[in-house]
Amino acid sequence: MIYKIALDGPSGAGKSTLAKNIASALNIVYVDTGALYRSVGLYMQKNSILPENTQGVIAALPKVKLQMKFLDGTQHIYLCGEDVKDSIRTPEISMYASKVSAIPEVRTFLLNTQRDIAKTTSVIMDGRDIGTVIFPDADVKIFLTASLEARARRRTEELAQKGINEPYEKVLAEMKERDSNDSTRKVAPAVAAKDAILLDNSDFSLEQTFQAALSIIKSRLAL
């Protein structure tokens, strides 16, 4: 049986960790769609095109060559042939990604890349509009969320582990701005699908989040 699990929610809710754990427990593919928007953002930054320059971004899209590969269960993303797995994770590129993702042409540009991956294999895909736009027919839809403060605290720790030391207040402010960009944009705003199950993990450990999500998925898929 091929099935699709849509995992949406705001930044810092822990979607990628959860999706990775679920993918390995169920032996399915994990797709991080934020990496696609981040790669588009990185291309613009590298080519000195500001994300607010909508026409410039649209004009550059045909030159953005993206490829996703799954090596030993880990997603690698290639931008014009170069593995950008790590360089897309900076705060600057987070903001570029958030801004370019509000441009409808960027979303259309990435639509088929996302849909094609799920044609031949079961996936858990994380993003903002997976349950609403990419796979309205997903077998399971989870909207994972947590308070702004909890998400900012986790993101600060995650960045510190990578050697990026950003003050909590700065991370909080940037997250607030991104939340607002992502949830109020006209196209595909980050909102829960009507039939998504809401999971608020503000007070959950990673393990509790995992167990809660796994039981939702198992009961939906009758596994």
Please report, as ranges, the residues that interact with ligand DC according to CB under 6 A. 11, 33-34, 37-38, 94, 97-98, 101, 127-129, 178, 182
Closer to ligand DC by Cβ: residue 1 or 52:
52
Q: Return the number of other C-beta atoms located less than 10 Å from residue 85's C-beta.
A: 15
Q: Report the DSSP pairing between strands 82-83 and 74-79.
A: antiparallel
C-beta of 180: minimal distance to ligand DC in Å? 11
Closer to ligand DC by Cβ: residue 127 or 210:
127
Angle between helices 168-184 and 91-100 (to 10 degrees): 10
Closer to ligand DC by Cβ: residue 1 or 178:
178
Closer to ligand DC by Cβ: residue 26 or 110:
110
Residue with tokens 């699709």: 4
| Cα(105)–Cα(107) distance, integer angstroms | 5
Closer to ligand DC by Cβ: residue 13 or 219:
13
C-beta of 169: minimal distance to ligand DC in Å? 19
Angle between helices 34-46 and 91-100 (to 10 degrees): 100
| Cα(153)–Cα(53) distance, integer angstroms | 31
Residue with tokens 């990419």: 134
C-beta of 145: minimal distance to ligand DC in Å? 13
C-beta of 219: minimal distance to ligand DC in Å? 25
C-beta of 79: minimal distance to ligand DC in Å? 15
Residue type, 15: K
